[in-house]
Amino acid sequence: MRWIRSALDAERTGRRLAVAAALAVAASVALAEPSPTPTAAKSHARTAKGIVASVAPDGKSLTVRDEHGRESHFVVTSATRVSGGALETGRKVTVRWMPLDKKNVATAVRVQSPEPERTASTAAPAPPNPTPNRP
């Protein structure tokens, strides 16, 4: 009988260990922080397109007028990347900006090249006539 009793004690001990292990795993899973799911990089930058209405003499700010006539003021810093040419009044621009300390800070300004004016000499030639003149 003794061997039966020791077999039952071993079985109970095994069950207790299994229950304790299961509880430990459940507790560690519950307390563990969820792993961050990969997401797209967040960008808080915004875009404005329009024509330069004015540029400050020191070059530290510019005003852009959009197609609806609304003007937006932007601060230009030493970190602002300006590409495509100089910031001049009347040029078309695309401004990437972020709100910072209640100011619109330009992070990048892309100046579009001016379109050449079309005159009679620079106008595209007329396409050839598909039906030739008959005598």
Model pTM? 0.54
What pLDDT score does 19 carry?
65
CATH homologous superfamily for the domain 46-111: Copper binding periplasmic protein CusF (2.40.50.320)
| Domain regions of the chain by residue span | 46-111
In tens, the pLDDT along 26-47 reads: 666 555 544 444 444 455 689 9
Reported confidence tier of residue 132, pLDDT bands at 50, 70, 90: low
How far is residue 91's CA from residue 59's CA, in Å, rounded to a whole number? 15
Range with lowest mean pLDDT among 12-21, 44-53, 62-71: 12-21
Residue 84 in this model has a pLDDT that exceeds 70: yes
What's the half-sphere exposure (Cβ side, CA atoms, 13 Å) at 87? 26
